[in-house]
Amino acid sequence: MSTSTSPQPPSTAPALGVWLIGARGSVATTVVAGAAAVAAGLHPATGMVTETPPFADCSLAPVGSLVFGGHDTNSCPLPKRAEHLAAGGVLPYGLPAAVGAELAAADAEIRPGGPLPGDARSDEELIGAFAADITDFVRRRGLARAVVVNVASTEPLPGPDSERLPVSSLYAAAALRAGHPYVNFTPSTGMHHPALADESATSGITWAGRDGKTGQTLLRSVLAPMFLQRALDVRAWSGANLLGGGDGAALADPAAAAAKNAGKERVLADVLGAAPQGEVHIDDVPALGDWKTAWDHIAFDGFLGSRMVLQTIWQGCDSALAAPLVLDLARLVARAGEMGLTGPRPELGFYFKDPDGESSSLGEQFTQLLAFTEQLRATR
């Protein structure tokens, strides 16, 4: 590991605003608390790829220069959320107290999301209100630039003939309206809605997504290429996911689970050439809290049709897996915007289940990411 726990020197870089959709969720709370902990040298930057040597001279915003705000429909204050996460073992014992000031500061910048039940505002009104919140944040805090990141709960796949935009797309439209780069860390629609196609194409902003690759799919993106490279015949790939927390409850909705699974299955079909037999289940198991368990069972044929099996069990904390990637993406996409890049960023497929551009093996995606760092350094 090349990460260290020495505190970063006080940042003189112009501050980068990170506007989180779902700003009081587990992921967002971990992002805010974690950035403060890393900046203060309380913890190494484990899991942040952008803190490894290849990213050293890429002019990314220092972790200590990030300023957080966002939207949420939940009103539980961030310091309290952080205490809750620490009690559940997601945040380290004592961290909420140690970064209480930073949590409170971010909490003060959270504005009500929407629409809540009974809200009579039109889509256009909501987009305008959200964009105004973001613009106000940037202005008041004197930020050089900002990036909007969706870390809200997965929303159901929209019906084919809905007259309203999905909520995630309202926020994506607000990012366009306010003129800031956008990251969709969830499987929700976001910028992928046809109604946003024209505006996004001409907006001059850049965006990246979607659906952060944190666990089972991360594994699949290294295992599937192994079978392919060894000419082994994958017959069936089955999986079960158990997760509690907000994500588990959201995914208990079959429509939301369908949205999630679409990304999960894409990597197998893309890498192996065709989807093998097998299904993926997502179960809500509240007893697991923020921890998730993913079991995969891969039945493959070897030489002369011999039947073999690989099974994997991944036990991780979703928020802790997601947060460093969110920080990576905020910094990378903000930097891409600063460089004048526009449109989707296929170079960031390393981070996503359902990337812009081709899905491929994690190794190839990592090579693409390293190539991107050269571009970042070149236009320093």
* Footprint (CB under 8 A) of a copy of itself, residues 211-230: 218-219, 222-223, 225-226, 229-230
Q: Does residue 49 touch a copy of itself according to CB under 8 A?
A: yes
Q: Does residue 257 touch a copy of itself according to CB under 8 A?
A: no
Stretch that binds a copy of itself, among 57-65, 143-151, 194-202, 310-318 (CB under 8 A): 310-318
Closer to a copy of itself by CB, 51 or 338: give it.
Answer: 51
Decide if 177 contacts 125 (C-beta within 8 A). no
Choose, by CB under 8 A, the member of 305, 340, 378, 380 that binds a copy of itself. 305
In sequence order, the β-bridge partners of residue 255 are none
Token pair recorded at residue 330: 């905020």
Choose, by CB under 8 A, the member of 303, 340, 378, 380 that binds a copy of itself. 303
Choose, by CB under 8 A, the member of 323, 329, 332, 334 that binds a copy of itself. 323
Token pair recorded at residue 318: 């979703």
Distance CA 308, CA 310 (A): 7
- CB 55 to a copy of itself: min, Å: 10
In a 3-state reduction of DSSP, which class is residue 29? helix
Q: Does residue 105 touch a copy of itself according to CB under 8 A?
A: no
Which backbone phi and psi does 21 adopt, to 5 degrees?
-85, 120
307-310: which pairs have CB atoms within 8 A and are 24 or more residues apart? 308/232, 310/223
Closer to a copy of itself by CB, 189 or 360: give it.
Answer: 360
Radius of gyration of the chain (CA): 20
Q: Does residue 25 touch a copy of itself according to CB under 8 A?
A: no
52-82 residues labelled b (16+ CB within 10 A) or e (exposed): eebbeebebbbbbbbbbbbbbeeeebbbebb
Stretch that binds a copy of itself, among 111-119, 142-150, 171-179, 279-287 (CB under 8 A): 279-287
Choose, by CB under 8 A, the member of 23, 95, 103, 257 that binds a copy of itself. 95
What is the DSSP-derived secondary structure letter of residue 352?
A: B
- CB 139 to a copy of itself: min, Å: 31
Interaction with a copy of itself in 113-172: which residues (CB under 8 A)?
Answer: none
Token pair recorded at residue 91: 């945040």
